A = this chain, B = another copy of it.
């Protein structure tokens, strides 16, 4: 196999990549793909990512759990927000959750239009994800959800972590792989410290989600790989 692995640094660049025969890993570390991974690992039956809080309303009657935040606060009438700590066994086991996430949902839907398969990655399922990607006979595109179509550090660091693990199993790498991997190697011993360099850091501190950030940077707490089937993320059968 002469497989290619590439990093798409923001959804605004996705049109440049041929993904028809690729597995696309959507990465939105703070906090969508981390919460999704944790919730599914805790037994959520399905998670439906939507872009706008209003989009949740259509699902209200179905008895689904609704997760949405505005400015770091749980939206009135919703079951919980976007903190991974909300996605505990007690709350989500065998439930379907509708999750509001702007950047992550956009990336998933854009990828789904063309990709062979769309899965979700986060530090929480790093090794499980890489072990699976290793044995697929497919090219891989690591799609960073970014921040309003701009490059961000946390998603790129995770892409670099995946490249670092899979380097020996892929033949072709693009320049973004090289950059992402080098950033990850530089940051891996203190991911949280590295992210303090980020322009988002001030925003994160304002949102008072420091514990969320630390949690989203924990490695390999989960085994599950969420895969997008239609509008639903479900656990990939391993």
Contacts and interface: CB of A to CB of B under 8 A. Distances in A.
A93 interface: no
Which of A147, A149, A151 counts the most B-chain CB atoms under 10 A from its CB? A151
Interface residues of A, number: 27
Number of copies: 2
Nearest to A146: B175
A12 B10 CA distance: 10
Contact of A173 (B148, B186, B199): B199
Contacts of A199: 172-175, 178
A16 to B, nearest CB: 6
A83 interface: no
A32 to B, nearest CB: 17
Contact of A13 (B150, B153, B176): B150
Contacts of A156: 175, 179
Contact of A175 (B13, B16, B150, B176): B150
Given A179-B156, A199-B174, A13 B10 contact: yes
A174 B201 CA distance: 11
A12 B151 CA distance: 12
Contacts of A62: none
Given A9-B151, A12-B16, A178-B199, 15 more contacts: A10-B13, A12-B13, A13-B13, A13-B149, A13-B151, A16-B150, A147-B175, A150-B174, A151-B174, A151-B179, A152-B175, A153-B175, A156-B175, A178-B197, A179-B183
